[in-house]
Structure formats: structure tokens, C-alpha cells
Amino acid sequence: MSFNARGRTTRRAASAAALAALALGTAACGSSGGDPLAASSSSAAAPAPASGAGAGATVVVGSANFPENVLLGSIYSQALKAKGVKVEEKFNIGSREVLYGQLQNGSLTVLPEYNGALLGYLDAKTTAVTTADVNAALAKALPATLGVLDSAAAEDKDSLTVSQETADKYNLKSIADLPAQASSFTIGGPPEFKSRREQQFKDVYGLTFKEWKPTGDTTANAIKDSTVQVGNVFTTDPKIVQLKLVSLADPKNVFGAQNVTPLVNKAGVDATATAALNAVSAKLDTAGLTALMKRVAVDKEDPSTVAKDWLKSNGLG
């Protein structure tokens, strides 16, 4: 298993053997900034668990200190407040090691997480890649005091992305549509992308690209200006909206699940809080989160305002 620059375990092999071969390292970095949820080891020793929360207790919503997680924290916080839950916000905290410990000891009650990355933190040898398998594994890996609620369809993960023009010209909707064109396509991504993914794409999708070009943080722009025809871009990178790019579906799960998922201290959330957070997950998809991130990262709008607008438009505010 390996971690991208945001600290999410997104690079998974098609088999356990391939997974073991992937080295830890950095990869593409999306426009929402560096993710301090980076986890390079299995979970730390558990602090003392929370003692419990009575009716009317304050729910403490935390976040890491990168824009997307702050936005998600604000969405969770305002959704809870809309249902009459007392909420305290503690955003911009730090790394997964710090955040996870605070969930365990009850200093935090709710945290926006990414299910695949959280599982990788708890079990570095996991081979789960689908949302269902990842969440089933999490249910076993988490201590009894913690739990995950419903995962959103929204995922912040690696993708193969093309321009709208390329998608239309070749009728590309999925990575599975690429084999007929790959031999004439140049693919871009972080410097280590070729060594990590070339054989995997051949084995899983039968892809042999004309050329692999290191494009790093400029990958989205390189796709738009046709320097490359396909590239590795995070699915919630606001440049996808800004530059009118298309992230291709990954039906064979080369890139493992990274669903936005509430991680909670069970003692601190009641049925009302649980229902409010699950309602957010039921409405939040990748395209929607990407559009929200454009407002935050590109248009420089306040995350709390963007969160409020989204909740209102979805009948949750």
C-alpha cells in the first residue's frame, strides 16, 4: 500500500502481491493543499476512551488543516446544528495521529475521514479496495469506542482524467474505454507514477501508453493544453471544474475507495446526530464536492458560507 501527497492510501494493486510491492511515497498533490492526515504507521496506542455523553451533550466536530477537510467539518457542524445538536468546532488541528487520538479520548466527537486512508492507517496490509469491503474491514479494525457512519459517494482519490474534448471525441467514460486509444496517448502524472502504475494498467485494463511524462502539480493544465492526453488528477481537484476535465470511471478498482466518511466517538453521538450526518453522506457526491472546492480553493469563498449554501440547497440546513 502507498500514500499520496495528501496522505490517503489511494494506490492499490490488483492483487495482494502487487500491493506489497508498492512503496510508500509521495504522488500527485491536489489543489486543496497538503493533507496532514498523512499516516506512515499503523495506529498508535489508544488513549483512554470517552466516558459517555448524555442527552444534550456537546458534539465536538474536528478537522485537519487543509481546505477540503475544513469544508467537510463545517458541513457536518452546520448539519448537526440544524437538527438542534449542540456543536463545538475545532478545525485545522493536525495529522491523523493527533486527530485519531483525540477521537479515542473523547476530545473530538466527529471527524470527516476518508475510509480507505483510515483503513490503511489501522491495517497497513489490507487489500480491501471497494467501498463495501473497506467499510467492513474498518468495522473490524476500529476499537469498540469508535465507529464510522454511512460513507458518502464523494471520493477524493486518484483518477485518470481527460479533457472534455478528448472524452467526446473518443467516447471515453471509463478507464476500460482507453485500450483502443492508449497507444497514441501520452499520460502524465507525478514522477513516480510510471513505476507504480504502468504494469498495473497493463495487467488490469490492457493499457499500453505511447509515453509517460512527469507532469506533477501541472497535470490538469497539461491535459487541458494537450501536452498529455490523459493524466493522474485527484477527483475533487477544483481544476476539474475550472478546466472542464473529465475523470474516467474505474470499474476494476485500480484506485481503491476513498469515500468521505464520518468517524465518530460512539459515546458522543445520539440517534439525532447520527441521522444528521448520514443525511449529509446520502447527498454528497464527488461532482458536488469538486464544485464546492472550486468555490473554496479557486474563488476563495469562506468554507462556512459554502457549507451553508450546500446544506440549504440539499434541504439539510
- Residue 26's identity, in one-letter code, is T
Write down the pTM of the prediction. 0.82
Residues 235 and 272 in one domain: no
Residues 228 and 264 in one domain: no
Residues 167 and 223 in one domain: yes
Nearest-CA neighbor of 261 among 8, 4, 6?
8
Domain housing 149 = 59-155+257-313
Q: Using the predicted structure, report yes or no on whether residue 4 has a pLDDT greater than 70.
A: no
CATH code of the domain in which 196 resides: 3.40.190.120
Residues 231 and 267 in one domain: no
Nearest-CA neighbor of 241 among 164, 173, 171, 167?
164
Pairing of β 87-90 and β 160-163: unpaired
Question: pLDDT tens digits for 228-287?
Answer: 999 999 999 999 999 999 999 999 999 999 999 999 999 999 999 999 999 999 999 999
Determine, yes or no, domain membership for 5.
no
**Least confident among 11-15, 140-144, 296-300:** 11-15
- For 270-293, b/e burial (b = at least 16 CB within 10 A) is eeebbebbebbbebbebebbbbbb
Determine, yes or no, domain membership for 45.
no
Residues 214 and 184 in one domain: yes
Question: pLDDT tens digits for 23-56?
Answer: 323 333 333 444 535 433 333 333 333 334 445 7
Determine, yes or no, domain membership for 136.
yes
CATH code of the domain in which 125 resides: 3.40.190.10
Residues 164 and 144 in one domain: no
Choosing from 247, 279, 303, the residue where a domain stops is 247
Residues 79 and 108 in one domain: yes
Determine, yes or no, domain membership for 262.
yes
Determine, yes or no, domain membership for 207.
yes
Question: pLDDT tens digits for 114-128?
Answer: 999 999 999 999 999
Residues 65 and 135 in one domain: yes
What local confidence, expressed as pLDDT, does residue 164 receive? 98
Instruction: Give the pLDDT band of residue 105 (cuts 50, 70, 90).
Output: very high
Q: Using the predicted structure, report yes or no on whether residue 5 has a pLDDT greater than 90.
A: no
Determine, yes or no, domain membership for 46.
no
Instruction: Give the pLDDT band of residue 17 (cuts 50, 70, 90).
Output: very low
Determine, yes or no, domain membership for 9.
no
Average pLDDT in the 216-225 region?
96
Instruction: Give the pLDDT band of residue 78 (cuts 50, 70, 90).
Output: very high
Choosing from 219, 247, 275, the residue where a domain stops is 247
Residues 220 and 132 in one domain: no
Residues 164 and 137 in one domain: no
What local confidence, expressed as pLDDT, does residue 37 receive? 56
Which residues is 161 bridged to in the sheet? 231, 247
Residues 207 and 74 in one domain: no
What local confidence, expressed as pLDDT, does residue 206 receive? 97
- Total domains, the chain: 2
Average model confidence (pLDDT) across the chain: 86
Cell of 99: 486527530
- Spatial distance between the Cα atoms of 127 and 142, rounded to a whole number of angstroms: 16
What local confidence, expressed as pLDDT, does residue 65 receive? 87
What local confidence, expressed as pLDDT, does residue 50 receive? 38
What local confidence, expressed as pLDDT, does residue 3 receive? 40
Residues 148 and 214 in one domain: no
How many of the other CB atoms lie within 10 Å of CB of 22? 19
